[in-house]
Amino acid sequence: MTDEATMKAAMQAYIDAFNRSDAAAIADLYADDATVEDPVGSPPKTGKRAIAEFYQMAVATGARLELAAPIRASHGKAAAMAFDVRLNMPQGRAHIRVIDVMTFDEAGKFTSMKAYWGKSDMVLEQ
């Protein structure tokens, strides 16, 4: 069942898995034929293998995710959340302001993820 609480719990599980650098746990949140478009405007990754590889690279950066506001559900099979990606760059500490939108299947797995962030959302902190 994909009710609002289930969708929000999956979104929070995504944040938590990322923050313990657990790429396999993130990939497990996705349906087998899911797509990931991160950032929106780039070619989507399709299927669990490509998605797992994407998150292995992502967590290897040591980045951490911090919700910027409570996770939103919807009246359909979709939810959205605003967060900041905190990371260390050669130039110093930085964050990227992101909004992720996920769609869900009946089992509560993500069928798609779209990450909205642009160059203007990357902020060098010092």
> Which residues are the active-site residues?
14, 38
Q: Provide the 3-class DSSP secondary structure of residue 13.
A: helix
Which string of DSSP letters, residue by residue, matches 24-54?
A: HHHHHTEEEEEEEESSBTBPPEESHHHHHHH
Contact positions vs a second copy (CB under 8 A) = 4-5, 8, 39-42, 68-70, 72-82, 97-99, 101, 116-121
Minimal distance, residue 98 CB to a second copy, in Å: 6
Minimal distance, residue 44 CB to a second copy, in Å: 11
Q: Which amino acid is at 13?
A: A
How far apart are the C-alpha atoms of 31 and 53, rounded to whole Å?
Answer: 15
Q: Where are the alpha helices (DSSP H) in 1-126?
A: 4-19, 23-28, 48-60
Nearer to a second copy, 94 or 98 (CB): 98
Nearer to a second copy, 20 or 75 (CB): 75
Minimal distance, residue 79 CB to a second copy, in Å: 7
Nearer to a second copy, 16 or 66 (CB): 66
